[in-house]
Amino acid sequence: MATTSKARTDSGIAPYAGLWDRSAILHLLRRVHFGVVKEDIDYYLSKTLTQSVDDILNIDYTPPAPPINNYNDRNTDPNVPAGSSWVNDYNAALNGTRRQSYQMWWSGQIINHDRSIREQMVLFWHNHFATQTDVVGWANFCYQNNATLRKSCLKNFKTLVKDITLDPAMLIFLNGERNTASAPDENYSRELQELFTLGKSLDSQYTESDVISGAKVLTGWRINKQDGTVYFQENRHDTNDKQFSAYYNNKIIAGKTGPTAGEEELDEMLAMIFAQNEVAKFIVRKLYRWFVYYDIDEATENNVITPLANIFRDSDYEIKPVLEALFRSEHFYDVANRGALIKSPASFTHGLIRTYDIVMPQSTEYVTQYSAWGSISNFSRLLQQELGDPPSVSGWPAYYQLPQYHELWINSDTLPNRNRITDILTTNGYNYNGYSLKIDAVSFAEKFDSVSDPNLFIKDLLEFLHTLPAEDAQLAYMKSILLSGQLEDHYWSDAWNAYINDRNNDAKRTVVSQRLSFLLKYLMNLGEFQLS
């Protein structure tokens, strides 16, 4: 649904014919990754746009190693040894501790993600099919939910919807396991249509009776709390016929009996829903707001959303072809869409670790490793985006709340906290168990060939870290930091070259480290650093 009528740009999904340069690559990576890694820029400069998009959308679906018992030093696990995975052990007494372990693990997956779009898609679908760890309760089911999103994140949307419908975490979160013939619960049926497939636009004209009938279709599903399996219980299922409205062509789903009745009726209802054209437009709009821009005007609706929705339907709801077309399009690289979004807390916090290549503890020190991952997860929570716990079934308001959308990420509480996090990372760091979570400004600077020239180095830093050009006064101040208040460029060049020629000299390293740390601190406190 378009939110404004005035066109920002008339560009559409025709292939992008502009320069495939650092600027274009940075724009793509800022949207599909969590933080830009400098080595990735050089990697994609060696490829064409088409090759780059193919590479980013080439997801490895091999499940990552699951979360482990990192908590035995403070909460003894009677069944799972320290360092072993708890995901197949169902111990309700440890759910609180294990939920924390799960959230730490998820941060670790984001921090260590490869060049593909996988982790962005997992978070996208978590926001779309929102659940909350504290409501779900069972840490095992929270992990299973993540695994469900992960295994299909760029595959078929119809398959994903069915998998989520029968996912233990979702069955608990929206009362699906309590939905019986004698007491039908409408929660999941309502959100399946309103939030997960059709949306609430003027073209989504399902009725309250459709919600009720859908709830009856979904009766009878249960969860085995001993092993996490979902099963169908016949005597809890409504075996009457289910009548739907004119929006669904007065469809009647005949009541069925037997062990396969629940799945047969579910498949029939999902086919009925996916026959509606609005499903494709609704999902494409959500993808657009996540990856491109929050405001969809009439021109964008006509030139981008509609043709992408056609691709989605024509591919039988395969997700990958939609993003292939979007990320190769002139619209995606339009100057109006570059630097136009505020970084989400998850992208901001995890991106810091990846962009600055902050050294994290190794798996041999898994307790400290999980603590470091947990710090990043807590940073994101502090900035109002806690992994695993969006504020409602609608997800985070920044992706749907008119008229602010992404502007909700920045307020009088979150902006000072963003600056506080970057300030500490560039100065004292976060220290525990002998480990320091801290930006090594010198090692980061060594990634740039231009570092000895203060003018070129600042130019390269701004291109890499910011999305908008700096004002002359800002440039002058940045340079004064490197020159330590002096006027001649050689005051920085001499200091840097002295360090390069004597890397083991702590005093020389300290000189350049302090100036670089102050410069990075300043750059990250500017509003431009908050943009993607």
Rounded average pLDDT over 374-382: 98
Residue 1: pLDDT band with limits 50, 70, 90: low
Residue 19: pLDDT band with limits 50, 70, 90: very high
291-322: pLDDT as tens digits: 999 999 999 999 999 999 999 999 999 999 99
Helix (H) / strand (E) containing 231: strand 230-232
Is residue 478 within 8 Å of residue 519, measured between CB atoms?
A: yes
Answer whether residue 462 shows pLDDT above 70.
Answer: yes
Answer whether residue 177 shows pLDDT above 90.
Answer: yes
Query: Residue 369 — left, alpha, or beta (φ > 0 → left; ψ -120 to 50 → alpha)?
Result: alpha
69-105: pLDDT as tens digits: 999 988 999 999 999 999 999 999 999 999 999 999 9
Determine the Cα–Cα distance for residues 511 and 492; give it in Å rounded to an integer: 10
pLDDT of residue 6: 73
Give, as one character, the DSSP assignment of residue 344: P
102-119: pLDDT as tens digits: 999 999 999 999 999 999
Is residue 107 within 8 Å of residue 387, measured between CB atoms?
A: yes
Give, as one character, the DSSP assignment of residue 256: -
Task: Tell me what percent of the residues of the chain surpass a pLDDT of 90.
Answer: 97
pLDDT of residue 270: 98
Determine the Cα–Cα distance for residues 78 and 130; give it in Å rounded to an integer: 32
Q: In 3D, which of 179, 164, 78 has the Cα closest to residue 129?
A: 164
**Per-position DSSP letters for 418-467, written without gaps between them:** HHHHHHHHHTT-EEETTEEE---HHHHHTT-TTTTSHHHHHHHHHHHH-S
Three-state DSSP class for 320? helix
Q: In 3D, which of 85, 108, 63, 136 has the Cα closest to residue 377?
A: 108
Helix (H) / strand (E) containing 222: strand 221-223
Please measure the distance between the N-terminal and C-terminal CA atoms of the chain and give it in whole angstroms: 24
Give, as one character, the DSSP assignment of residue 364: G
Determine the Cα–Cα distance for residues 358 and 377; give it in Å rounded to an integer: 15
Three-state DSSP class for 242? strand
Give residues with Cβ within 8 angstroms of 107, minimum separation 6: 350, 373, 374, 376, 377, 380, 387
Is residue 215 within 8 Å of residue 243, measured between CB atoms?
A: no
Is residue 279 within 8 Å of residue 198, measured between CB atoms?
A: yes
pLDDT of residue 3: 61
Determine the Cα–Cα distance for residues 361 and 437; give it in Å rounded to an integer: 9
Q: How far is CA 86 from CA 65, 82, 408, in A?
A: 11, 9, 36
